[in-house]
Amino acid sequence: MKYASVPLNQNQNGWLKPDLRPTVYPTLIGDTEADWVVVGCGFAGISFARRLASHDPKLKIIIVDAACAAESSSARNSGFIIGLPHNIGSSTAELKKAQSYRSLLQEGINQLTQQIEQQGIECEWENAGKYHCQVDAANQRVLKEYTDNLDAMNEPYQILDKEALYRKLGTRFYNKGIYTPSSILVNPASLIVGLANNLPDNVTMYNHTPVMAIRHGSVTQVVTPFGTIRAANVMLATNALSRELAPVTSQQAAMATFASITAPLTAEQRQKLPTMSSWGLTPVNAIAGATVRYTQDHRFLIRQHVTPALNGRITAAQTYQATLLHQQIFNKIYPQLRDVPLTSTWSGTISVTRNGAPVWGELKKGIYTAGGCNGAGVSKQTIAGTLLADYALGIDHPLIGAMQQLGKANYLPPSPVLDIAIGVSLMKERYLGRKEV
């Protein structure tokens, strides 16, 4: 019998702070039964389980994860909760369905806001907005399409030139930027751990319980190393990871991204910068360019470098290569801060679809999924999980239509054709964005 691949990052999540003590959940040992099994405790899985439980407190819901919330991809992202559609790479597919995406993303933010207020989750939540910046002064296409869509949605924004960006960001590396106020900055590890620790009583969590296979029949069997769960329904909150669990050909591919974070700047080092509040910046090409943050505790985060990770496994050697690259990028953006060291580098996976559409809905009878985050998953996957629970229970919600209007992900070929196609696509994006880093 062929078993599913289990994701593994050979590095430590740099967002985890010493005072963050996640609840220790047990490993599943022995067989059990449930009405629903949710595979994965990221934003989609957690919001799906919470919604199911709130609709019917009598349901027995089990969440299993190969690791835990603190080490999930949801905990390893850059900490942007984006309320507006934006482009990934040179593609502007998401911008073409801006109205649907905006309503979904903002409802996702509303739900997260409600949760952190009700549960008292401390996650450095900050309504800071974000800067969308470009280095190459000659190429205006992406930013022009971005502002055209902002105008069409009647969304406020501010255009900043190089000197205005310097006063906000402390660097003259960027030639132009668009500031939009509709984004939140957080510590993503603190957020997802807080959400996982505050689930309803009829949700049971098992950590370090990878799903090796799903056997389909009159009753679905979810096979883990030390026990099998018999369930009426399964929700796959795995994005593109553990592709073997899906009952259909996968329409999404896992890509690994890498981030590094510096030590907190000393008072002397901060004197080399203008007076700044914390901020977040996304590049016009997220494949080639660098995402950058300046945190509340005076650290810089750099996220750059995307590589295929179809089996979800990232080695220590790949992590070290990313560290070297991030130090070079940081020195290029902030040459006045060459004495600031990086203290941690880590990886996380995103799920990419060929046409930017999500993978959402019922794959076959009793098997559901919410995937295809395409690199912007916090608010998007939160609302996707919530709406999927309503859809699965036959409960009407006005935003289900908006979710369906996003379309369906296009077909992806199997390996090795997929591997070649991804390699060519990444080469193209790096060439198109070669002046952005």
Instruction: Give me the residue spans of the domains in the chain.
Output: 8-436
Q: What is the mean pLDDT of residues 263-272?
A: 97
Rounded to the nearest integer, the mean pLDDT of the chain is 92
Residue 94 has pLDDT above 90, yes or no: no
Residue 92 has pLDDT above 50, yes or no: no
List residues bridging with 34 in a β-sheet. 231
pLDDT, position 102: 87
Residue 384 has pLDDT above 50, yes or no: yes
pLDDT, position 145: 86
pLDDT, position 101: 86
pLDDT in tens, 124-144: 999 999 999 999 988 788 888
pLDDT in tens, 233-254: 999 999 988 888 988 888 999 9
Please name the residue that has the structure tokens 């203008």. 274
Q: From the centroid of its chain, how far is CA 316? A: 21
Residue 88 has pLDDT above 80, yes or no: no
Distance between CA 278 and CA 198 in Å, rounded? Answer: 28
- Given 3-state DSSP classes, what are the helix, strand and coil percentages for the chain, each rounded to the nearest 5? 30, 25, 40
- Identify residue 192 by its one-letter amino acid code: I
pLDDT, position 330: 98
Higher pLDDT, 435 or 346: 346
Highest average pLDDT, of 9-23, 185-199, 239-253, comes from 185-199
Residue 89 has pLDDT above 50, yes or no: no
Beta-carbon contacts of residue 380 (< 8 Å; ≥ 6 apart):
82, 101, 104, 105, 108, 358, 373
Distance between CA 219 and CA 216 in Å, rounded? Answer: 7
Residue 11 has pLDDT above 60, yes or no: yes
pLDDT, position 233: 97
Q: Given pLDDT bands bounded at 50, 70 and 90, which one contains residue 1?
A: low
Residue 401 has pLDDT above 50, yes or no: yes
Q: Given pLDDT bands bounded at 50, 70 and 90, which one contains residue 91?
A: very low
Higher pLDDT, 376 or 34: 34
What three-state secondary structure class fits 298?
coil
pTM for this predicted structure: 0.94
pLDDT in tens, 293-341: 999 999 999 999 999 998 899 999 999 999 999 999 999 999 999 999 9
Q: Two tokens at 383? A: 């609302």
Highest average pLDDT, of 41-45, 99-103, 370-374, 405-409, comes from 41-45
pLDDT, position 18: 78
Q: Given pLDDT bands bounded at 50, 70 and 90, which one contains residue 414?
A: confident
Higher pLDDT, 29 or 98: 29
CATH code of domain 8-436: 3.50.50.60
Percent of the chain with pLDDT over 90: 74
Distance between CA 252 and CA 255 in Å, rounded? Answer: 10
Kind and range of the H or E element at 323? helix 316-333
Exposure pattern of 255-273 as b/e (b: 16+ CB <10 Å)? bbbbbbbbeebeeebeeeb
